[in-house]
């Protein structure tokens, strides 16, 4: 709606100062001509807005002009009170600031919107952690948080998965990303994008050197590139298994990251479903032992042998009298 667009322009100018018409058009997804028509409408309504042409020109408000209008709709007000990443505020030390900000927003809301916003905060809860993820190690984001905002290079001591020794890297941070309850540092190392889990950073120290990011590249772009590389990484082992249908829902929840497609009907027996799985190494198929005789690996033979050896070892442990009292 035009009224929403006019308010958006007003708030952008109030926040940013002088803004090129082309940028306003891009943000609002309209033409530059439409932006200039909107500026005329604001001016006619008494808003002291003006346009400067030229290389360093743009659209701006007269100095000192402010508006206290929030322009929030009911849905926008409710959205602010759905805290989709509560853990993020805690990790960044922003719990108190968040509470204070929401109190200020609540006070500024038009009276008709307040009950809906307050009720949303009490009725909607988003937990970013996955089921059965187990306790998470405490993560100190202090130095990482400082590095991404001070534009300085960072020296970290980092432990890779499966390794015990620490490696030292000097990196150029783009920012921090919280995904499914896990924090990541997104940075360039020697001009190439890298992803570092924050809970594997043993220590971090700022250097005196300014950060060297690739020109024109932002955090969101680097994150999408790294995310694609992780998600499209070819798995080392393709496994086909069948599972009893009464355990299928549980299996899909637990094995979700390893599944490469939806479950299929077993043509040999309607009481079973077929799963296509992918694992980085053959030994990882031991995960399937938790389903006992409710799951059978069909292929490859190497995976069947790994499970047979593991089952035999368990039989030796639990088949005797045991060593307990």
Grouped pLDDT means (10 residues each) for the chain, 325 residues: 74 80 87 89 85 79 69 67 61 69 68 76 70 63 84 92 88 89 90 92 92 91 90 80 93 88 86 92 92 94 94 84 55
Nearest to 187 by CA among 137, 151, 231, 238: 151
Integer angstrom CA distances of residue 71 from 9, 92, 178: 11, 29, 30
Q: 33's torsion region: left (phi>0), alpha (psi -120 to 50) or beta?
A: alpha
Q: What confidence score (pLDDT) does residue 62 get? A: 86
Q: What confidence score (pLDDT) does residue 4 get? A: 72
Q: In this structure, what token pair is assigned to residue 190?
A: 């020697």
Q: What confidence score (pLDDT) does residue 251 get? A: 92
- Helical spans, DSSP H, in 131-280: 142-150, 219-231, 248-255
Q: What confidence score (pLDDT) does residue 115 get? A: 82
Cα 286 from chain centroid (whole Å):
29
CA distance 52 to 6: 19
Q: What confidence score (pLDDT) does residue 320 get? A: 64
Sequence-separated (6 or more) residues with CB below 8 Å from residue 74:
112, 113, 116
Q: Are 7 and 42 in contact (CB under 8 A)?
A: no
Burial of 226 (0-12, 13-18, 19+ CB in 10 A): middle
Nearest to 78 by CA among 119, 45, 40: 119
Round the CA-based radius of gyration of the chain to a whole number and report it: 28
Q: What confidence score (pLDDT) does residue 84 get? A: 47
Q: What confidence score (pLDDT) does residue 277 get? A: 93
């Amino acid at each position: 709606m035009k009224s929403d667009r006019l308010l958006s322009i007003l708030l952008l100018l109030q926040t940013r100062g002088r803004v090129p018409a082309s940028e306003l058009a891009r943000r609002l997804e309209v033409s530059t001509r439409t932006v200039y028509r909107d500026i005329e409408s604001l001016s006619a309504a008494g808003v002291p807005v003006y346009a400067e042409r030229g290389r360093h020109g743009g659209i701006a408000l007269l100095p000192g002009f402010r508006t206290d209008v929030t322009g929030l709709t009911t849905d926008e007000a409710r959205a602010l009170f759905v805290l989709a990443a509560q853990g993020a505020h805690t990790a960044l030390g922003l719990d108190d600031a968040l509470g204070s900000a929401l109190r200020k927003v609540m006070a500024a809301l038009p009276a008709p919107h307040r009950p809906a916003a307050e009720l949303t905060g009490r009725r909607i809860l988003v937990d970013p952690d996955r089921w059965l993820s187990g306790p998470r190690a405490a993560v100190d984001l202090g130095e990482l948080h400082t590095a991404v905002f001070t534009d300085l290079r960072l020296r970290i001591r980092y432990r890779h998965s499966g390794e015990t020794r620490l490696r030292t890297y000097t990196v150029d941070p783009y920012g921090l990303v919280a995904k499914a309850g896990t924090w990541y540092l997104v940075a360039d190392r020697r001009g190439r994008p890298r992803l570092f889990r924050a809970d594997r950073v043993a220590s971090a120290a700022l250097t005196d050197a300014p950060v060297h990011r690739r020109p024109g590249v932002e955090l969101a772009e680097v994150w999408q590139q790294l995310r694609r590389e992780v998600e499209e990484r070819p798995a080392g082992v393709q496994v086909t298994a069948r599972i009893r249908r009464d355990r299928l829902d549980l299996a899909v929840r637990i094995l979700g990251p390893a599944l490469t497609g939806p479950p299929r009907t077993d043509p040999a027996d309607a009481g079973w479903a077929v799963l296509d799985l992918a694992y980085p190494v053959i030994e990882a198929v031991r995960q399937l032992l938790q389903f006992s005789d409710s799951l059978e690996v069909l292929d490859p033979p190497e995976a069947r042998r790994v499970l047979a050896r593991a089952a035999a070892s368990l039989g030796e442990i639990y088949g005797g009298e045991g060593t307990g009292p």
